[in-house]
Structure 1
């Protein structure tokens, strides 16, 4: 595939605890390049080092770290020839920063940092949602975040596709089929 970066970089976003990481593992198992969620990596690092850029300690610092890590992720996979799937990314981090401190996404993101025009959202799914040491927010807070993300992606002109609440293989088949079966 010789298209530019944005047409190969696909975002999986949506409700926290909705199965994005599991889906990313399935897509990786099918041979696709995948990029894990910046937020989960930051939380792990900050918890190991007693750092302060944790979402429940300093959300602004956390979102700024997520932006930096997401930009590095994009650079790392810039030469990939096929679809690359991101568990969240720049847009999610920029929307979090906007929510926390009012910094406009238009100021935070360069138009050249766009991803593929279709974003796949995991819907709220209370039956699989679990709080963990790294995911301390409540399901109600996850719903609020989902609403903000959905609205933000719509405002930015992305085509939103809500993933079905089904097993991970069927979800991955759905995504690959939507992208033309490649």
Structure 2
């Protein structure tokens, strides 16, 4: 079976996790965002924001985790898998920070491909900050622009999901697949 890998991307606080959680409740195979897990583990070790303190280490951990997710998703016995963020997100965040990353990051983006990308735009009305999300809304909007630039660099056609109810956003996505 050729499993379709479908990404849900967007800046922080755009509603990705809410959509993934709802798709999971509807019975779809979904993979969660792993950056919160990486951030939480670092916080347990006394590092408040690993991405801010050591962006390359944080990004390497994310890259490894997202490659594992990709490999696992490809082997699912289902028609499609929804994934909260993809490998190019790692590069987009490094571009946002203005930091260097090794060539293997770029190679990972070229070797691990996705079938469809749904982009959630910045939405101030639903944006919230928490212990793992350090960015303010302006920064989230800037990250959004880096995501577009990075994914387009790798030849992806981004489908923007309208700002709407969770149910309508899911229906929009399912109708586009």
Q: TM-score, normalised by structure 2?
A: 0.89
Q: 2:56·2:101 contact (CA, 8 Å) conserved in 1?
A: no
Q: Aligned Cα RMSD in Å? A: 2.0
Give structure 1 stretches of 5+ with no counterpart: none
Task: Using the TM superposition, give the Cα deviation of residue 156 of structure 1 relative to its aligned residue in structure 2, in angstroms.
Answer: 1.1
- 1:55-85 CA-to-partner distances (Å, cap 9, x unmatched) read 1221221111100011111222332122111
Match of 1:176 in 2: 174
Q: 1:13·1:20 contact (CA, 8 Å) conserved in 2?
A: yes
Q: Which moved more, 1:69-78 or 1:25-34?
A: 69-78
Structure 1 segment 1-182 matched on structure 2, within 5 A: 2-3=1-2, 5=3, 8-51=4-47, 54-80=50-76, 81-98=78-95, 99-103=98-102, 107-109=106-108, 111-116=110-115, 118-179=116-177
SS in 2 for 1:55: helix
Structure 1 distance, partners of 2:109, 2:122, is: 29
Structure 1 distance, partners of 2:164, 2:109, is: 35
Give structure 2 stretches of 5+ with no counterpart: none
Q: 1:53·1:61 contact (CA, 8 Å) conserved in 2?
A: no
SS in 1 for 2:52: coil
How many residue pairs are counted as aligned between the two chains? 174
Q: TM-score, normalised by structure 1?
A: 0.87
